[in-house]
Amino acid sequence: MISRKISEESIKKAKELIDKAERIVTVCHSAPDGDAVGSSLAVVHVLGALGKECRAIVPDAYNANLAKLPGAKEIVDATRYPDFARRLFDEADLVICLDFNEPRRTGRLEETLRQCKASKILIDHHLHPDIDADVLISHPDMAATAYLLFRFFCRLELFNFIDKPAAECILAGMMTDTGNFSYNCADPDIYIVVAELLRKGADKERLYRQLFNTMSESCMRLNSYAILEKMEVFADDGAALIVLNREELNRFHYEKGDTEGLVNRPLAIPGVVYSAFLREETDMVKVSMRSVGDFPVNMVCKDHFGGGGHLNAAGGEFYGTLDEAATLFRSLLKENKEKYIK
Ligand code: 5GP
Ligand code: MN
């Protein structure tokens, strides 16, 4: 028996809003990952089966590996189709916000979302939700938004509306946020949900190949180059750093998502407890950090790199040069060691 997490009051209110809505849109965080896209598509499948007109809107492009998820062709990318996305928001009775905790995380959709008059339901697993929603279903202890969403559907008595495509989208979200069930997945209920999704026909092995083990030659070379030539290991301070500039990214024909997972790699080295990856973008430096144990990368990102996140996975945006960001990271090594490494 799976433990109950979502409050009865939230379920009741969400049910009312869904029952009376005809047009529903979903929105997720920018640079959407498998959890964001998988959750969005799962909502479209399940509420679509209920007879709702439901569209998934993403702020910007997602990794090509996700494009094969069932229903992905119907996703509206607000960067490519801004007018259409705005019209969908204008016409919606209900917006379901997935996998983010504050409007700022939706990038170019932030203002549209803030100004949207429709009712809103948030379903998310990031800390400190800060969003004006009618129903707030925020459970940071859940491994993935998609996992929370499965529980949400069950509580709404929609289990039978989860078909094979929906099951694959939910499983994709769960696999993404747990590194294919290698971290953040000690909760036994996760495996009960996985069993149900497999029973519904989800092809886990195909999803694994599609999501984790498919990459272009240039992407493989970029990641290998990053580790061979660009990884700095600060053994005394338990840290590692990888920095990639624009020229390097261009040389390997970088596409969004190509460096997904790279920041985790140095954590395999014994003694490295946190790892940072800095990527030069046009107007800022994208910061990504990961850690093992109780090293709080969310604090480092919040205090120094204009961001935040979870204890073991965080990120931010640094407005300055790539060199300045790297220098700042190196200058913090001793302080971080004293503060956070016992
Ligand atoms: P990633 O490194 O995969 O981009 O992000 C890992 C996690 O860090 C995300 O799930 C999110 O919680 C957090 N995160 C990433 N970028 C930002 C950011 O710019 N601002 C904040 N507040 N959190 C971020
Ligand atoms: Mn997530």
| Beta pairing class for 135-138 and 231-234 | unpaired
Give the global pTM: 0.88
Average pLDDT, the chain: 97
| Beta pairing class for 239-244 and 23-28 | unpaired
Cβ neighbors of 221 (< 8 A, separation 6 or more) are: 252
Query: Which pLDDT score, from 0 to 100, does residue 214 have?
Result: 92
Please tell me the number of the ligand nearest to residue 287's CA.
1
Q: Give the confidence band of 156 by pLDDT, cuts at 50, 70, 90.
A: very high
**Cβ of 307 less than 6 Å from ligand 1:** yes
175 has a pLDDT exceeding 90: yes
- Residue 229 CA to ligand 2 center (angstroms) comes to 31
Over the range 253-268, which residues count as b (16 or more CB within 10 Å of their CB) and which as e? ebeebbbbebbbbbbe
Query: Which pLDDT score, from 0 to 100, does residue 2 have?
Result: 81
Ligand 2 (single-atom ion) residues, CB below 5 Å? 35, 99, 145, 177
Q: Give the confidence band of 149 by pLDDT, cuts at 50, 70, 90.
A: very high
d(CA 268, CA 55): 40
Q: Give the confidence band of 81 by pLDDT, cuts at 50, 70, 90.
A: very high
Query: Which pLDDT score, from 0 to 100, does residue 171 have?
Result: 98
- Residues of the chain with pLDDT > 70, as a percent, come to 100
What confidence tens digit (pLDDT) does each residue in 197-223 have? 999 999 999 999 999 999 999 999 999
d(CA 142, CA 176): 13
Q: Give the confidence band of 162 by pLDDT, cuts at 50, 70, 90.
A: very high
Counting from 1 in the atom list of ligand 1, the atom nearest the Cα of 314 is 8
What confidence tens digit (pLDDT) does each residue in 262-278 have? 999 999 999 999 999 99
146 has a pLDDT exceeding 90: yes
287 has a pLDDT exceeding 80: yes
Query: Which pLDDT score, from 0 to 100, does residue 63 have?
Result: 87
**Cβ of 59 less than 6 Å from ligand 1:** no
Which among 30, 264, 288, 305 is the best mutation to test ligand 1's pocket, defined by most ligand atoms within 8 Å of the CB?
A: 288
* Ligand 1 atom 24 nearest Cα: 315
What kind and span of H or E run contains 210?
Answer: helix 204-212
Q: Give the confidence band of 118 by pLDDT, cuts at 50, 70, 90.
A: very high
Q: Give the confidence band of 257 by pLDDT, cuts at 50, 70, 90.
A: confident
What kind and span of H or E run contains 318?
Answer: strand 313-318
1 has a pLDDT exceeding 80: no
Q: Give the confidence band of 190 by pLDDT, cuts at 50, 70, 90.
A: very high
Six-digit token string for 240: 């590692």
What confidence tens digit (pLDDT) does each residue in 315-329 have? 999 999 999 999 999
Query: Which pLDDT score, from 0 to 100, does residue 342 have?
Result: 84
Query: Which pLDDT score, from 0 to 100, does residue 340 have?
Result: 98
- Mean pLDDT along residues 40-44: 99
Query: Which pLDDT score, from 0 to 100, does residue 196 have?
Result: 98
Distances (CA, A) of 277 to 13, 226, 268, 309, 325: 41, 10, 15, 15, 10
**Cβ of 309 less than 6 Å from ligand 1:** yes
What confidence tens digit (pLDDT) does each residue in 223-253 have? 999 999 999 999 999 999 999 999 999 999 9
